[in-house]
């Protein structure tokens, strides 16, 4: 049963489609000072954010498991993930479990101390917790690729401007 009611949706910013939801999720994580790789979801169908209460939800086509290579931890993300967010913290988290030894442990809270270089702590409903470096959950943005893309677009625009100018000169000569 979904925790996202029609009443909540009516008061929220709601987005559909994987690409847009990926972008909005990373933007929200950045706004609240959490690492951008914290929610490595796939095929997100819907995401929403009710700013007044901080309630957030994400719905994906199917549950996924993701291994955070830098710390060697496997995390399971259900088809629906809900939480309340505030600066440096995710509270009342549902739909996320971490594998600890041979047991899947439900996570209910995530918070960052001294972002962005500090530690990130994951807490269970029974108050057990684990702390890791924030860097283990940061995805490096492909700055070089973006810069190259922008440079190529500028060169293409210059080329088109020259073609238009040459065409205008040819028309004047005729």
| pLDDT given at position 92 | 96
Is residue 50 in some structural domain? yes
Domain tally for the chain? Answer: 2
113: in domain: yes
132 and 85: one domain?
Answer: yes
94 and 172 assigned to the same domain: no
Looking at the structure, tell me whether residues 13 and 85 fall in a common domain: yes
Are 90 and 169 members of one domain? no
Q: How far apart are CA 122 and CA 133, in angstroms?
A: 11
Helices (H), the chain: 6-10, 18-31, 143-173
Which residues of the chain, if any, have pLDDT below 50?
none
**Would 1 be classed as within a structural domain?**
no
Q: Please tell me the pTM assigned to this model.
A: 0.77
For 98-134, the pLDDT digits (tens) are 999 899 999 999 999 875 568 999 999 999 999 999 9
Structural domain including 97 reads 6-137
């Amino acid at each position: 049963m979904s925790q996202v009611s029609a009443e909540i949706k009516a008061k929220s910013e709601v987005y559909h489609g994987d690409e847009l939801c990926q972008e909005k999720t990373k933007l929200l994580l950045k706004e609240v000072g959490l690492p951008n790789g914290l929610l490595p979801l796939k095929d997100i169908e819907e995401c929403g954010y009710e700013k007044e209460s901080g309630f957030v939800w994400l719905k994906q086509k199917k549950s996924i498991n993701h291994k955070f290579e830098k710390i060697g931890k496997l995390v399971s993300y259900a088809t629906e993930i809900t939480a309340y967010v505030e600066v440096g913290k995710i509270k009342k988290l549902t739909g996320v479990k971490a594998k600890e030894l041979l047991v899947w442990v439900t996570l209910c809270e995530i918070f960052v101390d001294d972002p962005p270089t500090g530690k990130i702590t994951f807490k269970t409903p029974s108050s057990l917790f684990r702390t890791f470096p924030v860097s283990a959950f940061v995805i490096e943005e492909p700055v070089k690729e973006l810069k190259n893309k922008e440079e190529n677009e500028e060169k293409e625009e210059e080329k088109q401007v020259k073609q238009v100018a040459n065409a205008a000169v040819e028309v004047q000569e005729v």
